[in-house]
Amino acid sequence: MRYLGRGQRWIAGHGRWWGFGLLPALIALVLYAGALTALAVWSGDLAAWATPFADGWGSPWQGLLRGLFVVLLFAGGLTLSVLTFTAVTLLIGDPFYESLSEKVEESEGHCPPGPGRPLWREIAVALRDMVHVLLRAAGFGVLLFLLGFLPVVGQTLVPAIGFCVSGFFLAVELTTVAMQRRDIPVRERLRLLRGRKALAVGFGTPLVLLFLIPFIAVVLMPGAVAGATLLVRDLVPDPSAGDAEPEAGPGGRAAAPEAYLPPQSGPGPSGVRPRAGW
């Protein structure tokens, strides 16, 4: 949670970048508001189209069925909006958040040069990675939905686990910008954050809870990206950054995170082909 505070403090000290970072979230908010408004306006027609078997039903059963369908349809749309808002905002704001993340890294002393891909290629990679992460998150969502029908556990433990799972994947999404700059593929990002589950969950879960408050996601998103950048700097130190001292761990010692090792194309001196790892 310290990274959340550090990111918001960085943004508070750089007000121009806070306003700059608000733009993608505001654009996404307008798009989602328009989509939800259209869904609300046309939900009655959608309910009638989806339930033709109820055309001959009398009152009040037809109204009750279609009213329930409208409520479930809008609730599903709202839930989908909450789950995808961050990913869509990051996709829209890729150039914005790339510049913001670079500024954060420069203010900390060193910014990795990045893979040097053109903008259209960066957006295509971001879209592909977003789909990859969302499919994994959807798999967990289906599993937790089914577990929610278990007595007692489904109403107590499963929702808490669900928030933690959402927090983990939100951390994956927010660290994407800084990870892509280091040219770390999405599968390796997931593996790295799985190895530090407490760090990822502790960063993402408070944001999931805060994002449930209307409009708060728009305000906090720039600071969340800044905090995620600071997290990645400590998690995957850049060898070319000089003799930067790692942060002290709980016992006062400097924590030395393992650096990302890119895959090598040929066998090593012993004839064994090395693996990419952490």
Residues 228-258: pLDDT tens digits? 999 999 888 765 554 444 444 444 333 444 4
For 171-227, write each residue's pLDDT tens digit: 998 898 888 888 888 888 899 999 999 999 999 999 988 887 767 878 888 899 999
pLDDT in the model for residue 206: 92
pLDDT at 272: 39
Task: Please state the length of the chain.
Answer: 278
Distance CA 46, CA 67 (A): 11
Q: Please tell me the distance from the alpha carbon of residue 3 to that of residue 9, in angstroms, as a whole number.
A: 10
Tell me the whole-structure pTM to 2 decimals.
0.67
Partner residues linked to 227 by β-bridges: none
pLDDT of residue 278: 36
